[in-house]
Amino acid sequence: QKETYILAIETSCDETAAAIIKDGTEVVANVVATQIESHKRFGGVVPEIASRHHVEQMTIVLEEVFAKANMTMEQIDAVAVTEGPGLVGALLVGVSSAKALAYAHQKPLIGVHHIAGHIYANRLQEEFTFPLLALVVSGGHTELILMKEHGVFEVIGETRDDAAGEAYDKVARTLDLPYPGGPEVDRLAQLGEDTLSFPRAWLEEDSYDFSFSGLKSAVINTLHNAKQKGNDLKRENIAASFQASVIDVLTEKTYRAAKDHQVNQVIIAGGVAANKGLRASLEEKFKEESIQLSIPPLWLCTDNAAMIGAAGTIAYQKGNRAGWDMNANPGLDL
């Protein structure tokens, strides 16, 4: 049987990325141009700057991925691109580029949901065994997703307010840590202890939903009160206490959902999956279980196009094709 080669493009936020994926499981070439330095001095991603950088970087990144793979467009079976969710101006650059390439070379075009990509990043490391539970924790999403077959996603829990990564970034800002805050809070947390016992938002007993805004406010209030009273709180302990609260809830709810749905595999995905504390906590929780726990390498956790190619291959094999009228969709449903 002939191999399938997918060219994938991802520009939903502040990474301009392209990859070539073979048969949905093998990375032939992967290029990521990050814009972190350009956004750092603003303390977060500036959408207009992100779009402009994508325009500047896109052709360079594409040329590099083909050079690395030693391939040409003629050898590609289809072009997959992140259709949404994300920043509309940023997404548009990827979608327009994918359309142009696919149209010029008469290849099928495939729209991919960014979160499907994060989940499928794991398949570049390990084959899926269903039923499978995915904990997706990124800057914009916190979701527990149940999968019984390829390409079908059932959201069984989600955040009711802030996403986990968003809470990390906001807490980082109150601690005067640079953007992106998640890795900085993670690093500090390793040096401190959970001395503050912030609240854990368990919600209703049977709920797989999450809430992080209360915790975020508790951190901000604690810092504010300490400052007013002239108390000196150690930043390491604030970070460690915040992180312990987030991780406790993520770990417990993931474990309970995995047991309730009798899954064979648990995977984690998204930028916050890079968190050292979360990775260790899940490993500890599942170590005595027969459920297989998959933790992706760091380069597969943060935004990249390899994951879009992995998810795009499934869509391609299922016969899903986008029309030339496909548009960037910042609010796309999974």
Residues annotated within a binding site for Fe cation: 114, 118, 303
Q: Residues binding ligand KG4: what is the number (CB under 6 A)? A: 19
Any contact of residue 184 with Zn ion (CB under 5 A)?
no
User: Which of positions 137-156 make contact with Zn ion (CB under 5 A)?
Assistant: 138
Options 10, 143, 162, 186; binder of ligand KG4; rule CB under 6 A: 186
Any contact of residue 168 with ligand KG4 (CB under 6 A)?
yes
| C-beta of 11 vs 57, nearer to Zn ion | 11
> Which stretch in 34-42, 61-69, 138-146, 286-294 sits in contact with ligand KG4 by CB under 6 A?
138-146
Helices marked H in the chain: 36-40, 47-69, 88-104, 114-120, 164-174, 181-189, 213-229, 235-260, 276-286, 298-301, 306-317
Q: How far apart are the first and last CA of the chain?
A: 31
CB 17 within 8 A of CB 32: yes
**Minimum distance, C-beta of residue 94 to ligand KG4, in the bound complex (Å):** 14
CB 58 within 8 A of CB 44: no
DSSP per-residue codes, 290-316: SSEEE---HHHHSS-SHHHHHHHHHHH
Residue with tokens 């269903």: 130
Options 9, 13, 112, 119; binder of ligand KG4; rule CB under 6 A: 13
d(CA 212, CA 199): 10
Residues contributing to the annotated binding site: 114, 118, 136-140, 169, 182, 186, 275, 303
Options 11, 159, 265, 275; binder of ligand KG4; rule CB under 6 A: 275
Instruction: Say whether 80 sits in a helix, a strand or coil.
Output: strand
Any contact of residue 169 with Zn ion (CB under 5 A)?
no
**Minimum distance, C-beta of residue 10 to Zn ion, in the bound complex (Å):** 8
Residues contributing to the annotated binding site for substrate: 136-140, 169, 182, 186, 275
> Which stretch in 33-41, 51-59, 221-229, 271-279 sits in contact with ligand KG4 by CB under 6 A?
271-279
Per DSSP, what are the bridge partners of residue 27?
Answer: 21
| C-beta of 175 vs 311, nearer to Zn ion | 311
Any contact of residue 270 with ligand KG4 (CB under 6 A)?
yes
- Rg of the chain's alpha carbons, rounded to an integer? 20
In the stretch 217-246, what mask flags binding to ligand KG4 with x, by CB under 6 A? ------------------------------
Residue 24's nearest CA partner among 38, 3, 53 is 3
* Strand runs labelled E in 115-201: 132-137, 142-147, 154-158
What lies within 8 Å, CB to CB, of 324 at 6+ separation is 99, 103, 109
Any contact of residue 169 with ligand KG4 (CB under 6 A)?
yes
Where does this chain bind ligand KG4 (CB under 6 A)?
13, 138-140, 165, 168-169, 180-183, 186, 270-272, 274-275, 302-303
Where does this chain bind Zn ion (CB under 5 A)?
138, 303
